[in-house]
Structure 1
Amino acid sequence: MTAIVQNLVTSGVFELDGGSWNVDNNVWIVGDDTEVIVIDAAHDADAIADVVGDRAVRAIVCTHAHNDHVNAAPALAERTGAPILLHPDDRVVWDLTHPDRAPDGELADGQRITVAGTDLTVLHTPGHAPGAVCLHSPDLGVLFTGDTLFHGGPGATGRSYSDYPTIVRSIRERLFALPETTTVHTGHGEGTTIGAEQATSTTWPEA
């Protein structure tokens, strides 16, 4: 069975730099009838576990460590036994939310994560956060971008540990090199395609 992609939307609060905002997050579950990975365990471990059911969770993959993307990760890891994987450059952000609980493993650029016979390649795409990553599956024709690329352009860079020229470079050099037909599954809101975002990128502010 080829891996399928499931989407769960959870709601909670994003907190950084002394501010807080109510947000809806996309949680992505990729796998088959027996095993899955969870991309961005946001807000509600019980809701995520309900969608997973009795399938084995091979990994909890963090596209970055802002609290709204990782706040349910430890609880989900405890419930499922799955390791939490994070790029080491985002450990400083992770520690803001989970100072007493380290991730279980590191993500690296070019690393392949395999689930249900399907490979997802880790692309290090800093800018929104220093250790932000995207996950690309050529077999499924999809890219999971976290908060690096949205329908309408780059993710936010107005807060600590972010940088606009860096995120634009990540998108243009790493993501726009992918096929234009690639479906983009984002960390919040509706999806898009690489081609659609490439077509509108000429309107972005200069990096």
Structure 2
Amino acid sequence: MTARIDHTTTSGTFSLDGQTFEVDNNAWVFGDDQECVVIDVPHDAEAIRALVGNRAVKAVLATHAHDDHVRAAVALADAVHAPLLLHPDDRVLWDLVHPDRAPDGELADGQLVVVGDAELEILHTPGHAPGAVCFYSPQRGVVFTGDTLFAGGPGATGRSYSDFSVLVASIRDRLLPLPDATTVHTGHGESTTIGAVRPQFDEWVARGY
């Protein structure tokens, strides 16, 4: 059965470095009618659980551990009895949000998460956060980029644990080589394609976006 993608947007806050902002976050559920994975659990575990329905959740996956992407992750993982998986380089950010609960497992570059008849390949894309990852499904022609890449440019790098030059290298080396038709589902805002963002890349770099 072909994997499908379900989506919702939830609203809340993002806090880091002593500042707090109102944000809207995308959350994604990838799977078939029997099983799925959840990609990011921002602010409302129940809204995302409604997307899951009666399916078995193989894992709750975090693109990175900023609080607006994982605040409700523990509540959802406990409710659906699924492991929480995070790249270990983002543990420093995770511990700011959930100091009393460690992730259940680690994500590694090149790792494959099998869901139904599809796979998600883990692409380590540091820069916005040290352990930021993207999830690429060649079968569906889609990549979930979290805050690494948006329709309008790279993710933000003006806060602790971020680095613009590292982010640029991640996008250039890990995402731009994907086929132009690959749909980019982001952590905030509208989706785009690799082909749509490719011509803008040099301009972003030149102006230090």
TM-score range, shorter chain: over 0.9
1:129 equivalent in structure 2: 129
Written as runs of structure 1 = structure 2, the 5 A alignment for 1:47-196 is 47-196=47-196
1:28 equivalent in structure 2: 28
Inter-partner Cα distance in structure 1 for 2:180 and 2:104: 34
2:4 equivalent in structure 1: 4
2:46 equivalent in structure 1: 46
Inter-partner Cα distance in structure 1 for 2:54 and 2:124: 31
Structure 1 residue 51, shift from structure 2 partner: 1.5
Does the residue aligned with 1:160 lie in a helix, a strand or coil?
Answer: coil
Counterpart of 2:112, as a letter, is R
* TM-score (norm. length: structure 2): 0.97
Structure 1 residue 203, shift from structure 2 partner: 1.0
CA offsets 1:93-119 (integer angstroms, 9 cap, x no match) = 100000000000000000000111210
Structure 1 residue 205, shift from structure 2 partner: 3.4
CA offsets 1:135-173 (integer angstroms, 9 cap, x no match) = 000000000000000001100000000000000000001
Inter-partner Cα distance in structure 2 for 1:50 and 1:182: 27
Structure 1 residue 42, shift from structure 2 partner: 1.0
Inter-partner Cα distance in structure 1 for 2:176 and 2:32: 29
Counterpart of 1:188, as a letter, is H
Counterpart of 1:64, as a letter, is H
Inter-partner Cα distance in structure 2 for 1:187 and 1:117: 24
Gaps of 5+ in 2: none
Inter-partner Cα distance in structure 2 for 1:33 and 1:198: 34
CA offsets 1:37-82 (integer angstroms, 9 cap, x no match) = 0000110011111111111111000000000000001000110000
Inter-partner Cα distance in structure 2 for 1:53 and 1:174: 33
Inter-partner Cα distance in structure 1 for 2:202 and 2:88: 32
* TM-score (norm. length: structure 1): 0.98
Inter-partner Cα distance in structure 2 for 1:204 and 1:54: 43
Counterpart of 2:133, as a letter, is V
Inter-partner Cα distance in structure 1 for 2:194 and 2:23: 24
Counterpart of 2:201, as a letter, is S
Counterpart of 2:62, as a letter, is C
Inter-partner Cα distance in structure 2 for 1:152 and 1:11: 20
Contact 2:180 2:194 in 1 (8 A): yes
Inter-partner Cα distance in structure 2 for 1:123 and 1:106: 13
Q: How many residues align?
A: 207
1:199 equivalent in structure 2: 199
Contact 2:7 2:51 in 1 (8 A): no
